């Protein structure tokens, strides 16, 4: 769905070249609103427990697609708070933040993914309604996939194999 009207003054938006790209913008000079379409920040959690990594299936994903716990930042939240909150909401346990894996562009979804490594304590996993299930994959069988979160998994695995990970505390 494309925006048609200015959210500030309700005039029909027009296309204008700004900052080297064509953008939807308000033609009213006194308003000047521009739809920049900036990517949304998303946090992703590589959740480790023992020698396993927890992958989840979200209801909005294909049934056989397993990935990291992810979620949007909320207003006023630090990414580190957001990723701990997301894991608590989706898996029902308070995880320990180990460190940042990396930051990855995800242009297909117009997102920027901030991927963190967390450790899940013992205890029963209680999935929330966003998820259909989870899998505990032994780390030695974990394979990265071809997307922004997959690149985070690849980086995490590579650092782990190199044995020089600054956030394997």
Query: How far, rounded to the nearest angstrom, does the alpha carbon of residue 55 sit from its chain's CA centroid?
Result: 14
Q: 24: which residues sit within 8 A by CB, 6+ positions away?
A: 2, 3, 13, 14, 15, 16, 34, 35
Tell me the β-bridge partners of 24.
15, 35
For 5, 56, 61, 149, the CA distances from 101, given in Å and listed in that order, are 40, 19, 23, 10
Interface stretch with Zn ion, choices 4-12, 64-72, 115-123, 126-134 (CB under 5 A): 4-12
Write out the two tokens for 123.
């205890």
| Out of 3, 5, 9, 103, the residue judged to bind Zn ion by CB under 5 A | 9
Least Å from the CB of residue 13 to Zn ion: 8
Closest by CA to 57, choosing from 28, 91, 23, 104, is: 91
Interface stretch with Zn ion, choices 30-38, 86-94, 114-122, 141-149 (CB under 5 A): 30-38
Q: Does 158 bind Zn ion (CB under 5 A)?
A: no
Q: Does 8 bind Zn ion (CB under 5 A)?
A: yes
Which residues between 93 and 112 bind Zn ion (CB under 5 A)?
none
| Out of 13, 24, 25, 26, the residue judged to bind Zn ion by CB under 5 A | 26
Interface stretch with Zn ion, choices 29-37, 38-46, 89-97, 120-128 (CB under 5 A): 29-37
Q: Does 24 bind Zn ion (CB under 5 A)?
A: no
Contact positions vs Zn ion (CB under 5 A): 6, 8-9, 26, 28, 31, 33
């Amino acid at each position: 769905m494309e925006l048609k009207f200015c959210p500030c003054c309700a005039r029909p938006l027009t296309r204008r070249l700004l900052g080297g790209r064509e953008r939807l913008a308000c033609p009213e000079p006194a308003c000047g609103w521009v739809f920049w379409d900036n990517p949304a920040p998303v946090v992703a959690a590589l959740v480790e427990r023992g020698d396993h990594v927890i992958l989840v299936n979200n209801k909005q994903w294909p049934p056989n697609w397993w990935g990291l716990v992810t979620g949007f930042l909320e207003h006023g939240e630090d990414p580190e708070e957001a990723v701990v909150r997301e894991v608590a909401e989706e898996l029902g346990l308070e995880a320990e933040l180990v460190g940042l894996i990396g930051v990855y562009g995800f242009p297909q979804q117009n997102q920027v993914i901030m991927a963190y490594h967390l450790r899940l304590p013992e205890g029963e996993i209680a999935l929330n309604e966003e998820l259909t299930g989870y899998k505990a994959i032994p780390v030695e069988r974990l394979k990265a996939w071809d997307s922004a979160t997959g690149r985070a998994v690849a980086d995490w695995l590579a650092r782990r194999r190199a044995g020089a990970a600054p956030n394997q505390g």
